Amino acid sequence: MRILIVDDEANIRRTTLVALEGLGHEVLEASNPAEALTQMGKSPELIFLDLRLGGSSGIELIPQLLELSPGVEIIVFTAYASIETAVESMRAGAVDFLEKPFTPEQLRLALGKRTKVRKLQARVVTLETALASGSPVIDLSTQEPAMSKVYELCFRVSSTPAAVLLLGESGTGKSVLARAIHEHSPRKAQPFITVNCPSLSRELLESELFGHVKGSFTGAVADTWGKVAKADGGTLFLDEIGELPLELQPKLLRLLQEREYERLGENKVRRAQVRVIAATNRNLLEAVKQGSFREDLYYRLDVISIHLPPLRARKKDLERMAQAYLAFFSKQCGKHFKDFSPGAQQAIQGYSWPGNLRELRNVIERAVILAEGESIQLEDLPAAFSSLPPKPLGEVTVTSLCSLEELERAHVEAVLQEAPSLEQAAEILGINSATLYRKRKRWEEPAAAV
């Protein structure tokens, strides 16, 4: 943190400064109220304030400091401690009280409390953001063997500090999986910070990552800490790492290898213990060959690589995920949809889902908003679902020159392969289970006779 010490005794400022710098903090000094107000332009995050500043009152200074920087935390200290002064300081806006003389250990404990509170506040913001994002609870269950291997690998690497590279098409859930790795790691109580690499210009992205000092570029009106500093002790998720500008790649490599970085416009080396998870839908090896991505950075990120299959390769999970979105958006919109009609189910299963989970979410949300009744019908889905080509049924298609018996058998067998149970297959076909059993028995008997 950047910490401001406001005390009229030079020896107190000096000993406190040495102790704070020894703990890795940046320290500013002020000996009177006027200097303290001037130093507020450097954006301190925490202030140690003496309650007696010569002929001035530190308590009267607190509201002025908070007006200039409403988010700053103030710890008051004084040699004239009493319950009354402590209460008065808290009422004025201070967050803690430290009695002089204090030891370095007492100072460390006071800082530790503030750090813990700040991390809890950051976690609350993260959870509130997740709730406000309007998505159902993350479900990591699957019926697909390929996806089971993905989850197994994620849980195995989550307990380590190793860098992870998530690969897969856009919308396959890479950011969800990154958060799941963090939540299953020893760092789960620490921040999970996301940086969207393609969202900003090179200069602004560097500032967002590493921070900057005042005046380092046009618009830098105050010193700022970057997301690397905010993620210290936790996880830094770099989304679409393949779009990271080539000029920033050496700085990221330095962070990964040395745990060091510098803010934009500053020469002071800083350290951060962050676990890096990166994601991309690009072929990074191809980018390395083309010269747009550093080879050494690629291999530093690719300690553990995990490939997420597209939604079209997760047919066994598709119905469950669609049902989860249906329940979530039905509740959100105050409606009561129970399921999808057989026609809608078949269209959802037959669609290729180029937008993957993101597209599935949008399609179901749209259907819930527009549909009426108790079930989502085919006409409630986008037009692309109604114009799907005939789905192959075994050895025949709807347009093949074949008997009705052959067409029926091929269709029933195709539904049986896709449906998770006989009861559900019968429901999709619009017949009862006994009828389906008799049909299967009739088709099996000739083969058995041979």
The tens digit of pLDDT for each residue in 115-124 reads: 788 777 776 7
Give the number of other CB atoms < 10 A from CB of residue 245: 15
The predicted pLDDT at position 268 comes to 85
Q: Tell me the C-alpha to C-alpha distance, in Å, between residue 142 and each of 306, 315, 321, 350.
A: 16, 10, 10, 19
Say how far apart CA 349 and CA 191 lie, in whole Å.
38
What does the pLDDT look like over 230-248, one tens digit per residue? 898 899 999 999 999 999 9
pLDDT band at 390 (very low <50, low <70, confident <90, very high): low
pLDDT greater than 80 at residue 209: yes
Residues 25-46 have a mean pLDDT of 88
Average pLDDT over residues 143-150: 90
List CB contacts of 385: < 8 A, sequence separation 6 or more.
344, 347, 348, 351, 363, 378
Of 133, 142, 136, whose CA–CA distance to 320 is shortest? 142
**pLDDT at position 357:** 93
Inter-axis angle of helices 315-333 and 356-370, nearest 10: 40
Predicted confidence at residue 81, as pLDDT, reads 63
Q: Give the three-state DSSP class for 446.
A: helix
**Tokens of residue 424, six digits:** 């559900």
C-alpha 170/C-alpha 318 separation (Å) is 17
Per-residue pLDDT at 400 exceeds 60: no
Write the pLDDT tens digit of every residue in 148-189.
999 999 999 999 999 999 999 999 999 999 999 999 999 988
Q: Running DSSP on this structure, what letter comes out for residue 3? A: E
What is the pLDDT, as a whole number, of residue 169? 93
Beta strands 56-57 and 52-53: pairing type? antiparallel
Which helix (H) or strand (E) segment holds residue 26: the answer is strand 26-30
- What number of other Cβ atoms are within 10 A of residue 103's Cβ? 9
Return the structure tokens found at 134. Answer: 């309007």
Percent of residues, the chain, with pLDDT higher than 70: 90
CA distance 187 to 351: 39
